[in-house]
Structure 1
């Protein structure tokens, strides 16, 4: 296998991965928009949080990203098969834009960490208010919180006290069963329980898997750099052949 044949094979490998990733992300995005029981319904019930509107569009964002990755996979494969410099150059430019956007996003998160913390604090305040107003009153909100707590094995946004003064607590003088490890979930059992809040649980999971998250992000960056290198090498090789 010659050098050009090796470059073609590498393009197929890179773009096969990109195409499958795009198909997966697109499927998740469509599921998020179609699934009526999505956790996004819970977020949609939290009013008055600045910046939350962007989170509610995550389904559209996933669909857009998935479609873009599918387009990239198509451009890369077709560009390699047809030896089209135009397709390869377009592929390179799109990958470069994505890479720059990712680096810029990482810098923004690091530099404006305080803004992110403020948004999380506002989200927490809105979540607690939502629990105290709707939990035990709205079947949809109650079901979504119950499903979230069952899956994550957590209680409330911060802890069990989030449910104090909620319709559920006022009607039963009890806390939700996920807030207790055993027995009737009254104040004493909930207070002595080791069940943490859902937000601390998510933070803990992210901390425990931080190495994996960083590794995946680094792997994506390496894949993008490799894809740009291979596409540009093919672009130059095809140009030299034509010349």
Structure 2
């Protein structure tokens, strides 16, 4: 009886962790979906985008789906332990096992993507620069999206300020202007060419690589924690399943 009660408490701990992790993952997925002013929104304005990068737009749906499933199995595990239902515990074990296998596959994909992300993004360089030089300062949607991106990531252009050379904004009134985000000075409403300040502002390409790297590490850490909880939960659920069966 004491052992059974301890196992139930363990199920609550494990499934409580899974439930909270699911809520966190779903929250991140919803945030990614709602946050339309991200660098990925720029892909819609660039031709010849590699299919691999286009798929990143759907990452929010994946996160929401995984989070929702984790919420369900967390609830299911608690109910199965409290009600001592073998059917619920077996269902819980099967669902967690499937999620575990999917997460392992996802981790492999993430590791592979981290290695090829730079090469994929480099293939966009020419098309992104052409898009900037053709439409920045003329097309309101693209201009606003680039401005928001540069403000959020504290960057300038794809590689640097020279990406804006020849753009409608740059040639406006013959003043050779650049976006204010490309200047280190925050006390000016305009930004003309000044090598001493603009050359120091990092391009958004490198900023995006840094963002992918830092977030991939965070996601990997969270995933390892979830995997540990899932393995423990599967072990405990099977022990409870066996104990309930022996009572019958």
1:166-181 matched pairs, under 5 angstroms: 166-171=167-172, 172-181=175-184
What stretches of structure 2 of length at least 5 have no aligned partner? none
Alpha-carbon spacing, 1:12–1:188, altered in 2? closer, same or farther (3 Å): same
Residue number among 219, 242, 248 corresponding to 1:236 in the alignment: 242
* Native 8 Å contact 2:18 2:230 kept in 1: no
**Alpha-carbon distance, 1:132 to partner:** 2.6
Residue number among 197, 204, 216 corresponding to 1:198 in the alignment: 204
Alpha-carbon spacing, 1:229–1:34, altered in 2? closer, same or farther (3 Å): same
CA distance in 1, matches of 2:184, 2:39: 24
CA distance in 1, matches of 2:76, 2:47: 42
* Native 8 Å contact 1:44 1:56 kept in 2: no
Alpha-carbon spacing, 1:107–1:39, altered in 2? closer, same or farther (3 Å): closer
**Alpha-carbon distance, 1:30 to partner:** 4.0
Count of residue pairs the alignment pairs up = 242
**Alpha-carbon distance, 1:23 to partner:** 3.0
1:199-218 matched pairs, under 5 angstroms: 199-204=205-210, 214-218=220-224
**Alpha-carbon distance, 1:229 to partner:** 1.9
Secondary structure at the counterpart of residue 187 of structure 1: coil
Alpha-carbon spacing, 1:74–1:210, altered in 2? closer, same or farther (3 Å): closer
**Alpha-carbon distance, 1:38 to partner:** 5.7
* Native 8 Å contact 2:43 2:54 kept in 1: no
Bigger drift between 18-27 and 205-214 goes to 205-214
Secondary structure at the counterpart of residue 123 of structure 2: helix
Bigger drift between 90-99 and 26-35 goes to 26-35
1:48-197 matched pairs, under 5 angstroms: 48-51=48-51, 52-108=53-109, 110=111, 116-171=117-172, 172-182=175-185, 185-189=191-195, 192-197=198-203
* Native 8 Å contact 1:11 1:227 kept in 2: yes
Secondary structure at the counterpart of residue 137 of structure 1: coil
Alpha-carbon spacing, 1:112–1:35, altered in 2? closer, same or farther (3 Å): closer
CA distance in 2, matches of 1:20, 1:118: 36
TM-score for both structures, normalised by structure 1: 0.81
CA distance in 1, matches of 2:215, 2:35: 28
Counterpart of 1:9 in structure 2 is: 9
Bigger drift between 170-179 and 114-123 goes to 114-123
Counterpart of 2:45 in structure 1 is: 45
Bigger drift between 161-170 and 100-109 goes to 100-109
* Native 8 Å contact 1:28 1:62 kept in 2: yes
Secondary structure at the counterpart of residue 195 of structure 1: coil
TM-score for both structures, normalised by structure 2: 0.80
* Native 8 Å contact 1:157 1:198 kept in 2: yes
**Alpha-carbon distance, 1:238 to partner:** 1.9
